[in-house]
């Protein structure tokens, strides 16, 4: 499974437009590839720009928290990947708990997760 997490400079999971890096995790090899986030710091449309870049990577799932997505980025991605809702704050916590988190992957999110 290929899983995406968007993180800031301190490796905290962030909303799409606040993360400087898009991390792609291959759970089979445990390889992590870092990509620059084209939506980082954008005043308008940052989440959608980030999601567009994410979708080109063809992930199976994305790690999300409340406020990570907006309606536009959610509906861009719905049906193309699953969502892993987490309370973990840092990327290393995601990696430590990856097997358990993968079991939580869902095809749809409650509106509270992506409302603005």
Does pTM top 0.85 for this prediction?
Answer: yes
Domain ranges in the chain are 2-58+71-83+100-113
* CA–CA separation, 116 and 112 (whole Å): 9
Percentages (nearest 5) of helix, strand, coil residues in the chain: 30, 30, 40
User: Which pLDDT tens digit goes with each residue over 60-93?
Assistant: 999 999 999 999 999 999 999 999 999 999 999 9
C-alpha distances in Å from residue 90, one per residue of 13, 31, 96, 116: 6, 17, 10, 23
Q: What is the mean pLDDT of the chain?
A: 95
Q: Which tokens belong to 105? A: 């992957």
């Amino acid at each position: 499974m290929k899983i995406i997490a968007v993180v800031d400079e301190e490796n905290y999971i962030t909303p799409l437009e606040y993360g400087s890096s898009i991390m792609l995790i291959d759970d089979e090899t445990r390889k992590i590839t870092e990509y620059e986030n084209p939506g980082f710091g954008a005043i308008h449309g940052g989440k959608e720009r980030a999601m567009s870049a994410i979708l080109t990577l063809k992930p199976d799932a994305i790690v999300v928290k409340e406020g990570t997505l907006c309606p536009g980025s959610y509906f861009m991605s719905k049906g193309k990947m699953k969502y892993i809702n987490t309370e973990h704050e840092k990327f290393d916590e995601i990696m430590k708990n990856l097997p358990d988190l993968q079991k939580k992957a869902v095809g749809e999110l409650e509106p509270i997760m992506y409302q603005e």
